[in-house]
Copies of this chain bind each other. A is one copy, B any other.
């Protein structure tokens, strides 16, 4: 990867649907590329903390990130994920509020940073870009509201099933075409589904007994996706 050129992964990597920076003019790209920060985070390291002030836009070049909010008694709730090509922190940047979630690397990640001033400058002169931000926020909002209903109304089993499907849809499969391409602890899956670690372990065992999934250490293999979808009670 060359320095000082805008190498937003969504542009250089065509497998990625979110072509966030593709509508920029050359001069705009140049502006953003200049003095762009290039950072590496180890698994478990925190990119930014909930409550802290936003000073730039993060572009996830390579890696996986979870966004969590702190709830009662310090219990975490995973609110979203980011993967290759996603941008992070745009909400706080544009609404000029502190980060409302903590971003933590789920595996070693390579993240670029664009300064607040430059990003705002480009957004303000490029309507297409702000419409793209609107699309992103709309998608996040839709996801959050769906998640809300799920947690409020679904059983633990339905939520665990749905969480596995979300993980598969977000991170895809390994080369074997059936193992979910992410390693999370049972406790993290619990934070996702809004349940306890013990219930998560038991429910995963049940889903395995019922042959919808198979467990191999931290690897989760989806052996019967249609049934898992049915089990999750999701219709969209």
Q: Contact flags (1/0) for A133-150 with B, using CB distance below 8 Å?
A: 111011111101111111
Q: Secondary structure at chain A's binding surface: helix, strand, loop or mixed?
A: helix
Determine the chain B residues whose CB is within 8 A of the CB of A101 once the complex forms: 145
Q: Can you give 19 contacting A-B residue pairs, CB < 8 Å?
A: A71-B153, A71-B154, A72-B153, A72-B154, A72-B233, A77-B149, A77-B153, A91-B138, A94-B135, A95-B134, A95-B138, A123-B127, A125-B127, A134-B134, A134-B137, A144-B144, A144-B145, A148-B151, A153-B194
At the interface, yes or no: A1 with Cβ under 8 Å from chain B? no
Smallest CB gap from A101: residue in B: B145
B140 pairs with A141, CB closer than 8 A: yes
Instruction: Please give the residue numbers on chain A whose beta carbons come within 8 Å of chain B beta carbons, in ascending order.
Output: 69, 71-72, 75, 77, 79, 91, 94-95, 97, 100-101, 123-125, 127, 130-131, 133-135, 137-142, 144-154, 194, 233
B69, A149: Cβ atoms closer than 8 Å:
yes
Q: Which residues of B contact A137 (CB under 8 A)?
A: 134, 137-138, 141
Interface core residue of A75, A140, A152 (most chain B CB under 10 Å): A152
Q: A77-B153, A131-B124 are in contact. Are A91 and B141 (CB under 8 A)?
A: yes
The CA of A71 and the CA of B162, in the complex, are separated in Å by 14
Bound Cα distance A134, B123 (Å): 11
- Considering the chains assembled together, what is the distance between the CA atoms of A178 and B56 in angstroms? 43
Residues of B within 8 A of A147 (CB): 148
Q: How far is the CB of A171 from chain B (nearest CB, A)?
A: 21
Q: How far is the CA of A123 from the CA of B127 in the complex (A)?
A: 9
Q: Which residue of B lies closest to A94 (CB)?
A: B134
Residue in B130, B142, B149 whose CB lies within 8 Å of A130? B130
A139-B91 Cα distance, complex, nearest whole Å:
9
User: Max chain B CB contacts within 10 Å: which of A123, A125, A134, A150?
Assistant: A134
- The 7 residue pairs across chains A and B that have the minimum distance between CB atoms: A152-B194, A95-B138, A144-B144, A137-B137, A71-B153, A130-B130, A71-B149
CB proximity of A223 to chain B, nearest CB, Å: 25
A152 contact from B77, B91, B124, B233, Cβ within 8 A: B77
Contact B95 A152 (CB under 8 A): no
Among residues of B, the one whose C-beta sits closest to the C-beta of A158 is B72
